[in-house]
Chain A
Amino acid sequence: MTTNQPGTGLWADAFLRIKKDRLALVCLLIIILYALVGFLAWAGLIASDYSAISNDSYAAPSSAHWFGTDIFGRDVLLRTIHGTRIALSIGLVTSLIAIPIGVTLGALAGYFGGIVDEFIIWFYTTMDSIPDLLKIIALSFVLGRGLLSVYISIGFTTWVGLCRLIRGEFLKHKSRDYVQAANAMGASHYRRMFIHILPNVFHIILINFSLRFIMGIKTEVILSYLGMGVEPGQPSWGIMIDDAKLELARGVWWQLVAATVAMFFLVLAFNVFTDALREALDPKLKNK
């Protein structure tokens, strides 16, 4: 801790560390750029005619269509841009489902202990005993195809890792002095858990949030290949890559390249940024 400025909190310190890490900043910028593109596509301000059908089936890249066209003559670049919206929305929506579940159960288990803890541990160990992909497949199979079922099947199945971490942290924090003090001042259980302890474990949630985007984007591709992703007409990267398996033999490589490149930079940026985030926020790694 010697290198820290006196009085620097975790977040200010993490902010300074990230700011010094040029590579992480570049990655954050890339993520923000993608998010902006995704937002604008969602708002219909750019690439709004992504599903416009034309007669140029499988046109090669040209000045009119930078990344060529697909089987229905739709512009691949516009579809890739819309793919950004779907990819990011999967990360975002599944986080909105999984993080509250993981945090609430983890907090209850770690804080109350005893029978509540036993039950929650049993529940998440059981959930964890069904391999993730099988769980996701089974759930999206019974729910049917579509973006909503992708959100639900990933969201409701992938909270276990976070839950386990949060439980461990709550277990440690509940006997700390500041929680005892809050107790002495008459803070309720709810207040101690969510007002006092939660902010101190928030960095774990943030790292998990970042990791989930990588997982979500990759899972969407696999689900699309298995025929259980978003509907075939939708412009998702998974659908585009899946289409490419038959197109490549005909010399049509642009859908595959466009979707792969778009995915590559986003996932790479998330990978590097998550590592930087972990290094900046994890007290165990500090000053190493």
Chain B
Amino acid sequence: MFSYIVRRVLYVIPILFGVTLITFVLFNLVGGNPVYQRLGKHGSEAEVKILSHELGLDLPLHQQYVFYLKQCLTFNFGRSWSTNQRIFEMLQNGIGASLSLAIPGFAAGIILSILISLALSFFRNTFVDRAMVVFCLAGISISMLVYIICFQYFLSYKLGIFPISGYETSIDGRWQYLILPMIIWVIVSLGSDVLLYRTIVLDEVFQDYVRTARAKGLTEKVVLLKHVLKNAMIPIITNIALEIPFLYTGSLLLEAFFGIPGLGGMTVQALNNSDFPVIKAMTYIGSIVYVFSNLISDIAYAVVDPRIKLE
């Protein structure tokens, strides 16, 4: 297992190299000269020349890439075009708000989905089970944006239960603003998660060890929570790792909509302002986080299940 972990960690290097290559090609080649994004279409030739020189865009491509690689390694992405803040500082300021929304929302969604799917396996082949499946299918057929708009309108605007939007940096003050986005987060993730976990749990329920557990007189509760859940956790953990990209969708939409100054809200603002360096930095940082969370989940997986070996 040790050699597996070492190999898995070392594989991060070519992956990260690839990520820098792809983002470089995307932003420096596919997009054309970003100077036009900043100056608009009517910048004079002299202005374009000066700015290109400032940004190092008149250098040959391989030198531009080396420059970008240095930025990536030092996390020094320069300054934002719209606020002139250092991007590194912006990241530092945004991460707290993002995590205070994403982690509780993500965790609550997962725990609730697991509990519901265990309960459904208890009710399998009954009306409750079928009704819940239909309900989940209906739920995932509605856009996340519709949930956000409707919940904000009814719960905040009409009923005034939650503030419409806003944020406070103090730890105690921020929760009143985060509760509604979290509720929406949980509801949106519930549909697809319950559908998937339900099939995972149902696959386990008919295994021989479950019959043995029942035969020795364990209650259904113990069978489900101790035996079934433990075995179902392996595919569920894999799925949780696969769902991490959904964190970005969630943060992006919810933070922008509820005025939470996290990384997602920042990205949306950068998109509206055509803030080139911020978007580039966010794409890279987002990928790094994903690469490392994949690494952690793979290692955790190998620790939990000793059968795993890297081919």
A positions within 8 Å CB-CB of B: 122-123, 125-127, 129-135, 137-139, 141-143, 218, 221-222, 225-228, 238, 241-242, 244-245, 248-249, 256, 260, 263-265, 267-268, 271-272
Contacts and interface: CB of A to CB of B under 8 A. Distances in A.
B279 interface: yes
Interface in B193-229: none
Contact of B143 (A135, A139, A241): A241
Given A134-B282, A222-B144, A268 B137 contact: yes
B27 A138 contact: yes
Interface string B275-305: 0000110110011001100100000000000
Interface of B: 14-16, 18-19, 21-23, 26-27, 30-32, 137-138, 140-146, 149-150, 153, 157, 244-245, 248-249, 252-253, 256-257, 267-268, 271-272, 274, 279-280, 282-283, 286-287, 290-291, 294
Contacts of A244: 149
Contact of A142 (B15, B26, B140): B26
B268 A129 contact: no
7 contacts: A126-B15, A127-B22, A129-B290, A131-B287, A138-B279, A141-B271, A222-B143
Q: Is the interface of B mostly helix, strand, loop or mixed?
A: helix
Nearest to B268: A226
Given A126-B15, A264-B138, 8 more contacts: A122-B14, A125-B15, A130-B283, A138-B279, A225-B145, A242-B145, A268-B137, A271-B137
Contacts of A241: 143, 145-146, 149
A284 B139 CA distance: 28
B223 to A, nearest CB: 21
B199 to A, nearest CB: 10
Nearest to B18: A126
Contact of A218 (B143, B149, B245, B290): B143
A38 B111 CA distance: 41
Contact of A228 (B143, B150, B271, B290): B271
Contacts of A123: 18
Contact of A260 (B143, B257, B267): B143
Name A's interface SS: helix
A110 to B, nearest CB: 13
A272 B21 CA distance: 39
A265 B137 CA distance: 11
B31 A142 contact: yes
A191 to B, nearest CB: 28
Contacts of B286: 130-131, 134
Given A130-B286, A138-B26, A268 B143 contact: no
Contact of B249 (A130, A133, A135, A256): A133
Nearest to B164: A249
A225 B253 contact: yes
B31 A143 contact: yes
Contacts of B30: 139, 142-143
A130 B294 CA distance: 12
Closest 6 CB pairs of A and B: A142-B31, A126-B18, A131-B245, A268-B141, A267-B141, A221-B143
A129 B137 contact: no
A242 B253 CA distance: 12
Nearest to B286: A134
A238 B145 CA distance: 9
Contact of A139 (B26, B138, B140, B271): B26
A261 to B, nearest CB: 10
Contacts of B274: 141
Contacts of A265: 141
B249 to A, nearest CB: 5
Contact of A141 (B140, B144, B252, B279): B279
B271 A137 contact: yes
A257 to B, nearest CB: 10
A141 B277 CA distance: 12
Contacts of B14: 122, 126
A224 B292 CA distance: 30
A184 B149 CA distance: 62
Given A134-B248, A241-B143, A142 B19 contact: no
Contacts of B149: 241, 244-245, 248, 256
A22 B250 CA distance: 36
Contacts of A126: 14-15, 18-19, 21-22
Contacts of B26: 138-139, 142
B253 A131 contact: no
B180 to A, nearest CB: 15
A130 B22 contact: yes
Contacts of B140: 267, 271
Given A130-B286, A133-B249, A222-B253, A122 B18 contact: yes
Nearest to A241: B145
Nearest to B289: A131
B145 A268 contact: no
A146 to B, nearest CB: 14
Given A226-B268, A226-B271, A245-B149, A130 B141 contact: no
Contacts of B279: 137-138, 141
A181 to B, nearest CB: 28
Given A130-B290, A133-B245, A263 B142 contact: yes
A122 B21 CA distance: 12
Contacts of A272: 137
B8 to A, nearest CB: 12
A280 to B, nearest CB: 16
